[in-house]
Amino acid sequence: MTSFSWSAAPRPIVCLAPMAGVTDASFRQIIKRVAPQVVVYSEFLSTDALKFGAKKTLAMMHFDPALERPFIVQIFGKKPEHFVEAAKVVEQMGADGIDINMGCPAARVVSSSHGSALMKNPELAAQLVASTVKAVSIPVSVKTRLGWDSAENLIPFCEKLIESGASALAVHGRTFMQKFHGTADFEPIYELKRHVRVPVIGNGDIRSAADAVAKLGNLDGIMVGRATFGNPWVMTEICDALQRVDSEKMQTEHVKTFADKIPFIIEHCRFAVAHKGERRGMLEMRRHLASYVKGIPGAAELRAKLVRVESVEEVENILRSIPAL
Ligand SMILES: Cc1cc2nc3c(=O)[nH]c(=O)nc-3n(C[C@H](O)[C@H](O)[C@H](O)COP(=O)(O)O)c2cc1C
């Protein structure tokens, strides 16, 4: 058993957002390598699949306890009895916490009454939290959005989840209807924090250390997703800036040359190969490699080579051939 607790976690809390197809063990490990204090989340995992022991889903939960704590496994579904079984599996494999997805806006998820659909069904949402909390001794949190089409129910919805035992809330500053359009609004999240006692983490459109400092407000922490694509170092900058809150230094420190980044990119590849084997690991690394070279001179040509790589050595040769930047 682990001793992670949301209320005792050092402030401000910085989280790597759960992202399906992205936040696998190798990505989490490279984030932890450059920003050790980050709380990392798994990709969302189906409670139905966990209950029935689906091999692929169980493999997605694999993590390295030496490199990835605190590690939160995010689960989704709609059947309380499946949450009970899934939560036990997650606890047994050594995760530090369980997060319930109540914010995914994907049509296929919502049409199955999972994810964001739970915001329209607060009774079931509360029941899922209560069943999960009862099944395990690790903390249970919820990641949600402002609401279905407005933020007017955010506070009562979250209060219900807290009454049912949720020990932290991560809130994305858009409604279900907004999907990823427009800009994230943190005002309703600040207002939520004024009403509740559990830690509240804000999420949405944090792209830099300056954004993180500007958006933290009265919150316990922030959660970052897309800004980490090809740029795990943004987490180093965010963690440091939130500790320091010194905007002058922020702009000059931590600016890495591409040559400085190469050893980390190679390490990311090695993590991927270690977890998934050379074939699958390198296949999945290709999209990260394309993100890593985004914006550098000759990126298009490099990308064309990197999306065909089959080994870490090949990546090394390509990256080391780039003239000093
Ligand atoms: C590729 C991708 C996959 C995502 N998968 C999940 C997921 O599995 N669970 C979840 O709660 N949110 C998921 N999200 C939403 C993110 O966790 C986060 O809320 C969103 O990206 C907004 O944060 P950002 O503006 O910092 O990227 C995903 C987002 C992206 C871009």
Proportion of the chain above pLDDT 90, given as a percent:
92
Pick the CATH number of 13-250 from 1.20.5.510, 3.40.50.360, 3.90.550.10, 3.20.20.70: 3.20.20.70
For residue 323, what pLDDT band results from cuts at 50, 70 and 90? confident
The CA 309 to ligand 1 mean position distance, Å, reads: 27
Q: Would you state the pLDDT for residue 250?
A: 47
φ, ψ for residue 257, nearest 5 deg: -80, 165
Per-residue pLDDT tens over the stretch 41-81: 999 999 999 999 999 999 999 999 999 999 999 999 999 99
Cβ pair 258, 302 in contact under 8 A = no
Query: Average pLDDT for residues 150-167, to the nearest whole number?
Result: 98
Q: Residue 146 is encoded by which pair of tokens? A: 């402002």
For residue 177, what pLDDT band results from cuts at 50, 70 and 90? very high
Q: Would you state the pLDDT for residue 324?
A: 76
Q: CA-CA distances (angstroms) from residue 174 to 5, 211, 215, 274, 324?
A: 27, 17, 14, 37, 41
Q: Would you state the pLDDT for residue 252?
A: 45
Query: Average pLDDT for residues 187-207, to the nearest whole number?
Result: 98
The CA 17 to ligand 1 mean position distance, Å, reads: 6
Nearest to 30 by CA among 234, 265, 260, 256: 265
Nearest to 239 by CA among 252, 254, 226: 254
Residue 205 alpha carbon, nearest atom of ligand 1: 25
Those residues whose C-beta lies under 8 Å from the C-beta of residue 246, and which sit 6 or more positions away, are none
The answer to whether the pTM exceeds 0.85 is yes
Q: Residue 324 is encoded by which pair of tokens? A: 């000093």
Q: CA-CA distances (angstroms) from residue 259 to 30, 213, 255, 316?
A: 17, 28, 12, 11
Nearest to 125 by CA among 153, 93, 89, 95: 153
Cβ pair 103, 74 in contact under 8 A = no
193 lines ligand 1 (CB under 6 A): no
Q: What residue segments make up the domains of the chain, in order of their start?
A: 13-250, 258-320
- HEC-encoded secondary structure of the chain: CCCCCCCCCCCCEEEECCCCCCCCHHHHHHHHHHCCCCEEECCCEEHHHHHCCCHHHHHHCCCCCCCCCCEEEEEECCCHHHHHHHHHHHHHCCCCEEEEEECCCCHHHHCCCCHHHHHHCHHHHHHHHHHHHHHCCCCEEEEEECCCCCCCCHHHHHHHHHHCCCCCEEEECCCCCCCCCCCCCCHHHHHHHHHCCCCEEEECCCCCHHHHHHHHCCCCEEEECHHHCCCCHHHHHHHHHHHHCCHHHHCCCCCCCHHHHHHHHHHHHHHHHHHHHHHHHHHHHHHHHHHHCCCCCCHHHHHHHHCCCCCHHHHHHHHHCCCCC
> Distance (Å, rounded) from C-alpha 239 to C-alpha 153?
31
The CA 317 to ligand 1 mean position distance, Å, reads: 32
Q: Would you state the pLDDT for residue 2?
A: 66
Q: Would you state the pLDDT for residue 1?
A: 54
20 lines ligand 1 (CB under 6 A): yes
Domains 13-250 and 258-320 agree in fold: no
Measured by CA distance, the residue closest to atom 13 of ligand 1 is 19
The arrangement of secondary structure in 258-320, i.e. its CATH architecture, is: Orthogonal Bundle (1.10)
Q: Is 104 a catalytic residue?
A: yes
Per-residue pLDDT tens over the stretch 116-139: 999 999 999 999 999 999 999 999
Place of tokens 């002058």: 248
172 lines ligand 1 (CB under 6 A): yes
> Distance (Å, rounded) from C-alpha 225 to C-alpha 17?
5
